[in-house]
């Protein structure tokens, strides 16, 4: 069974609890997502795309509350997962794209976008490469969830800022968030349904990434 058929048959298309105007295919206890894993893959990617997470929810709330942030702009939902952030941006009037490396996540985005009446292009990017072109704003939700990913992600996002793009980061203040490089601009109460330990009062924040740090002067 291909991923799109599996998602359509085994996940539920239902409103996001804190954003009831948005519907997403979401996992439930009977989804048995392990059936999507490649049996030849010793380390299959976790199905992050099947749930909503606090950072993405914070960005989605922010774009819904402040549509002028994205209206008429070219937006990239980076590490898109379900495509939630890009979908909300598109509904607010953005020309939105999504970058997601998991093929199952790409299939979910291709289903979630039309379910919400929007177009969301899926693009490939290389965070080890140069800054992107063709975007005005990068929306990066939950991309600092572990130190290894964060160490690769921050230099890439700083290159994007240096190239003239705005970068907004959504995160619930995880340990590996580079807070010294960020300016908090908003916080929202979100229900992080991807974390069974989270309460409905969990807070996700939206941060603006500052420009690259000034080089340190050395004495001659």
More confident residue, 49 or 31: 49
Q: What pLDDT score was predicted for residue 214?
A: 66
Q: What pLDDT score was predicted for residue 192?
A: 54
Q: For Cα atoms 146, 110, 148, give the angle at the middle one, nearest 5 degrees.
A: 10
Q: For Cα atoms 59, 63, 69, give the angle at the middle one, nearest 5 degrees.
A: 115
pTM: 0.90
Q: What pLDDT score was predicted for residue 217?
A: 58
Question: Angle formed by the axes of helices 84-91 and 54-65, to 10°?
Answer: 0
pLDDT in tens, 153-208: 999 999 999 999 999 999 999 999 999 999 999 999 987 555 444 445 689 999 99
User: Could you give the domains of the chain?
Assistant: 3-209 (3.40.50.150)
List Cα–Cα distances, 115 to 21, 91, 119, 157, in angstroms: 11, 12, 10, 30
Q: What pLDDT score was predicted for residue 44?
A: 63
d(CA 190, CA 9): 28
Q: What is the DSSP secondary structure assignment for residue 214, as one 8-state letter?
A: P
- Please name the helix (run of DSSP H) or strand (run of DSSP E) that holds residue 182, with its range, or none: strand 182-189
pLDDT in tens, 93-117: 999 999 999 999 999 999 999 999 9
Instruction: Report the 10 Å Cβ neighbour count for 213.
Output: 9
Burial (CB count <10 Å: 0-12, 13-18, 19+), residue 40: exposed
List Cα–Cα distances, 44 to 104, 124, 134, 147, 201, in angstroms: 11, 19, 31, 19, 31
List Cα–Cα distances, 212 to 67, 157, 204, in angstroms: 27, 10, 24
159: which strand partners?
Answer: none
pLDDT in tens, 42-57: 666 678 899 999 999 9
Average pLDDT, the chain: 89
Q: What pLDDT score was predicted for residue 197?
A: 43
Q: Which of 38-42, 134-138, 170-174 has the lowest mean pLDDT?
A: 38-42
């Amino acid at each position: 069974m291909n991923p799109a058929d599996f998602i359509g048959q085994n996940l539920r298309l239902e409103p996001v609890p804190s954003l009831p105007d948005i519907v997403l295919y979401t996992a439930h206890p009977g989804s048995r997502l392990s059936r999507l894993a490649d049996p030849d893959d010793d380390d299959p990617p976790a199905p992050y795309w099947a749930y909503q997470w606090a950072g993405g929810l914070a960005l989605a709330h922010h774009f819904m509350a402040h549509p002028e942030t994205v209206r008429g702009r070219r937006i990239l939902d980076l590490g898109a997962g379900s495509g939630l952030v890009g979908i909300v941006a598109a509904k607010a009037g953005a020309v939105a794209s999504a970058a997601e490396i998991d093929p199952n996540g790409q299939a979910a985005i291709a289903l979630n976008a039309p379910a919400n009446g929007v177009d969301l292009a899926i693009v490939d990017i290389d965070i080890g490469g140069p800054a992107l072109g063709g975007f005005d704003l990068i929306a990066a939700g939950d991309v600092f969830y572990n130190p290894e990913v964060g160490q690769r992600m921050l230099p890439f996002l700083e290159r994007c800022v240096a190239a003239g793009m705005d970068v907004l980061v959504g995160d619930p203040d995880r340990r590996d968030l580079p807070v010294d490089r960020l300016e908090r601009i908003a916080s929202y109460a979100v229900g992080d349904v991807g974390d069974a330990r989270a309460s409905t009062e969990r807070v996700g924040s939206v941060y603006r990434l500052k420009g690259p740090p000034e080089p340190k002067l050395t004495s001659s």
